Amino acid sequence: MNDATGDGFQPLGAHFLSYRQSDGTTVTDEIMWRLRAAGIPVWRDASDLLPGDTSERLIEALAEGLAGGVLVITGEVAHSSVVRDLEAPRLIALSQQTQFALTIANTVVDEHGQADHGAPDRLLQRDDGKLRGVLQYAIGDPAEMRKLVDGVRNLRMRNARAQINAEGARARIDVQTRNHGAAGDRTGAELDIRIKPSGSGPLPDAEGLRYFADAAPGLPAALTRAGAQRVLITGGAHLSFALALGTLLPATRIGHMEVVDQYDQHWAAGNEHHPAVRDDLLTTIEMREPNQDGPVCLYLDLRDGPSDAAYDTFIREHEPGFAAFAHVRPTLAGSLDPAQARDLATGCASFARLLSGSHANAELHLLYRGPFGLAVLIGRLLNTVRTVAYEWDPSTPGSPRYVATLRCVPSDMTEPVQVLLTP
């Protein structure tokens, strides 16, 4: 659907990447996946442009509607008539006429090795100095790359405030960790989080997770500044990612959360406090305490039917280093009822907190086998527990195992999500 205004601006449209292919492709790839990991849809010629003349790429993108753009300044951009004469002038004009969010990613340094802030005007042969007034980030510095992503997301959430208010202070986040994330893969949500997909195998992409982790600290504040008090999450993702996303949006911050999964099941919970573990919902299958010190392991085995091979392997390989192992299953056989999401989530989280607390607040290693929606709701209740989230890996025939993927440290405001998965 074309919901752009006559000038091509659309508050929740994609963000256009303007760059010189000869020396800008690699850095633009990184910017693209960092922005997508932060929830920002990106329009990129390599994935969104039909075969033909690249001079038409901005025209096609504007027809779909854009929320913003990133000018990628590299040494050879001076030789691009498309960027210099077509894209840059139009993007600058849009930023001056609307709330179009224009940003500069500058890779050029001066003779002292410092960011050359005059390079955009000089290389694009502009004598009006207008690019000096545009938000500019020195991409050679990893911290500046993170600031660029935060800046673009904050501008997007500024534009999203009206829609969030119209929805009763509810923000929507759509997530996917397996899609390739073209501009057409956007849902109208305030944030469409797309993690760079793995080239092969069932595990998520380590670099894609790192981009998400880098953007994670700014996510809660971006939602709060946009007036979001409730969150609707749609889509589907690896379960370690789902748990991590939940820890970033704790019940103490987001009063009501609903998750609609890929099967159209609705999992919802408010900020009610129900600390008790209901025996009619969850039961402890096994508890082992081999040591007095060390982390603790909780296997939340919430799918219908047993699947213990990977958990048994985990115990054999790690038992000497753990203080406790607990295996928890639903009391009744069959699929979980999404209508009981609140009590299931609070029961699982309560068990996790008690297990950690009874062992000197030990780090919790969480092996989760259950619905995506419930994983998010459990994560939002683990805001006081340092948690390592694992991913199930069946890639070795006959020998499935759990792989440490993400560490969630909600109390760490600068690095709440840490990537443990190696490429």
Residue with token string 């901005």: 58
| Polymer length of the chain | 423
Rounded-to-integer distance, Cα 275 and Cα 273, Å: 6
Q: For 206-247, how does the pLDDT look when each residue is reduced to its tens digit (9 = 90+)?
A: 999 999 999 999 999 999 999 999 999 999 999 999 999 999
Which among 340, 383, 391 is positioned nearest to 365, based on CA atoms?
391
Phi first, then psi: what are they for 77, rounded to 5°? -65, -20
Q: For 20-71, how does the pLDDT look when each residue is reduced to its tens digit (9 = 90+)?
A: 989 999 999 999 999 999 999 999 765 444 444 566 778 888 888 899 999 9
- Side by side, the strands of the sheet bearing 42-43 are 42-43, 9-18, 66-73, 101-106, 135-138
Rounded-to-integer distance, Cα 399 and Cα 372, Å: 24
- Whether the model pTM is above 0.85: yes
The answer for residues whose C-beta is within 8 angstroms of residue 93's C-beta and 6 or more apart is none
Rounded-to-integer distance, Cα 161 and Cα 177, Å: 26
Q: Are 271 and 255 in contact (CB under 8 A)?
A: yes
Instruction: Tell how far CA 374 is from the center of its chain.
Output: 17
Q: For 378-410, how does the pLDDT look when each residue is reduced to its tens digit (9 = 90+)?
A: 999 998 999 999 999 999 888 999 999 999 999
Residue with token string 């129900």: 274
- For residue 275, pLDDT over 90 is answered with no
Which among 264, 260, 328 is positioned nearest to 297, based on CA atoms?
328
The answer for residues whose C-beta is within 8 angstroms of residue 125's C-beta and 6 or more apart is 78, 84
Provide the 8-state DSSP code for 212: H
Alpha-helical runs (H) found in 78-237 = 81, 88-97, 119-123, 142-166, 206-215, 219-225
Q: Given this model, what pLDDT does residue 49 score? A: 44
Neighbours of 254 (CB within 10 A): 22
Q: For 122-136, how does the pLDDT look when each residue is reduced to its tens digit (9 = 90+)?
A: 999 998 888 888 889
Q: Are 253 and 220 in contact (CB under 8 A)?
A: yes
